[in-house]
Amino acid sequence: MADAEDNGEFYLRYYVGHKGKFGHEFLEFEFRPDGKLRYANNSNYKNDTMIRKEVFLTPAVLKECRRIVSDSEIMKEDDNNWPEPDRVGRQELEIVMGNEHISFTTSKIGSLMDVQTSKDPEGLRIFYYLVQDLKCFVFSLISLHFKIKPI
Amino acid sequence: MANAEVEAVDFEPDDDDLMDEDVGDGSPSRAAATIPRLKSAITGGGSSTPKKTKGRGFRDEAAAEADRNARMAGRFDSLDSDGGPGPERSIEGWIVLVTGVHEEAQEDDLQNAFGEYGEIKNLHLNLDRRTGFVKGYGLIEFEKFDEAQQAINEMDGTELLTQTINVDWAFSKGPFRRRNMRRRSPRGHRSRSPRRRF
């Protein structure tokens, strides 16, 4: 099992967003096979503009991202019983790992209550926590690389 | 797969190298050209085996792709770099990734282990959002390249709280080539015509 995951392709993309009063507000990031991490965060709230950052990651970072994904076992799940994207919002998670390619879509998840009351609480819980862990990872990478520390 | 690979590397796909680069010029056609490659071929120039696909995201691909292109097109900010190989400096220092961190490790453990190489300007030790334990990686910022390099050289492969850690740079100046992609041929910018046979 280690072989199939350690070797071969790796690609990951996550999107969460909605369209509303403040335009198309979304967060999206993408780990590309060549090491490039792209990050975009858009909102027109108070006339804010889009933030777009990109940086090349080393193989060590991609390897850690793969480990986080494979430890979650998200590749074994399926979104067919997850709530469909709706007016409130949409999430997309697309991952290529080894010879598997998943592309899941679902609505926004407000809290664990939404997970517990869904038709596939086990699978949706895995998704819910994986997304949080990935966001932590990406926010750390992006803020460390681009943000100046205030005094 | 072996046969396709041999043919693919005989001519130098320089054009593919351009496509690997960012769609910095903001032109939608280049964005459209890049994204389908990621979905169908995922670099490697078509050498990848067909994937097992799963999920609702594969429905309605054209519309989703158009949305994605619109979102991910345009200029993305990055720090200036010469694009060569090697680690890249971050905004105020050099970031090092530590993996294999024990789940009960605390920031102090990393401070003590790495602090001797230089003042640690920033330290992120993220927690697993479900369990509350350490997720397994840490990011450490040193002000100077030499401090970070020495930390990598001396700490990579050592033990922290009974577990082996790995230490390496986090950011790179350019893309890395996967093993089965050839570097630029020494023949240079040749056309695709076959070799002359005498």
DSSP letter at B196?
A: P
Q: Is B142 or B73 the better-scoring residue by pLDDT? A: B142
Per CB-CB distance under 8 Å, the chain A contacts of B171 are 55-58, 61, 145
Closest CA to B99 of A73, A61, A141, A142: A61
- A102 and B174 within 8 Å at the Cβ level: the answer is no
User: Does the pLDDT at position B137 exceed 50?
Assistant: yes
Please state, rounded to an integer, the average pLDDT across all residues of chain A.
Answer: 93
Residue B3, pLDDT score = 44
Check if B180 contacts A (Cβ < 8 Å): no
Closest CA to B24 of B91, B66, B64, B72: B72
Per CB-CB distance under 8 Å, the chain A contacts of B135 are 68, 133, 136-137
Residue B63, pLDDT score = 77
> pTM for the full model?
0.80
Rg for chain B, CA atoms, rounded:
22
- B72 and A55 within 8 Å at the Cβ level: the answer is no
Mean pLDDT of B22-47: 40
What's the order of all strands across the beta sheet hosting B166-169? B120-124, B137-142, B94-99, B166-169
Share of chain A above pLDDT 70, in %: 95
Residue B64, pLDDT score = 78
Give pLDDT tens digits for B151-168: 999 999 999 999 999 999
| Highest mean predicted confidence (pLDDT) among A46-55, B39-48, B131-140 | B131-140
Least confident of B40-44, B145-149, B170-174: B40-44
Q: Which residue type occupies B82?
A: D
Return the residue of A nearest to B17 by Cα.
A34
Per CB-CB distance under 8 Å, the chain B contacts of A57 are 170-172
* Interface predicted TM-score (ipTM): 0.92
Residue B189, pLDDT score = 54
Res. B187 pLDDT band, cuts 50 70 90: low
Mean pLDDT of A30-50: 92
- B174 and A56 within 8 Å at the Cβ level: the answer is yes
Check if A110 contacts B (Cβ < 8 Å): no
User: Does the pLDDT at position B46 exceed 80?
Assistant: no
Q: Rounded to whole angstroms, how far apart are CA atoms B75 and B24?
A: 5
Res. A57 pLDDT band, cuts 50 70 90: very high
Q: How many other C-beta atoms lie within 10 A of the C-beta of residue B162? A: 6
Check if B196 contacts A (Cβ < 8 Å): no
Per CB-CB distance under 8 Å, the chain B contacts of A144 are 90, 95, 122, 124, 139, 141, 170
User: Does the pLDDT at position A18 exceed 60?
Assistant: yes
Indicate the helix (H) or strand (E) that contains B94.
strand B94-99
Residue B162, pLDDT score = 96
Residue with tokens 């479900």: B130
Burial class (CB in 10 A: 0-12, 13-18, 19+), B56: middle
Q: How many other C-beta atoms lie within 10 A of the C-beta of residue A74? A: 20
Give pLDDT tens digits for A73-98: 999 999 999 999 999 999 999 999 99
Residue A149, pLDDT score = 78
Check if B97 contacts A (Cβ < 8 Å): yes
User: Does the pLDDT at position B62 exceed 90?
Assistant: no
Residue B47, pLDDT score = 47
Q: Rounded to whole angstroms, how far apart are CA atoms A132 and A127?
A: 9
Contact A51, A41 (CB under 8 A): yes
Share of chain B above pLDDT 70, in %: 65
Per CB-CB distance under 8 Å, the chain B contacts of A97 are none
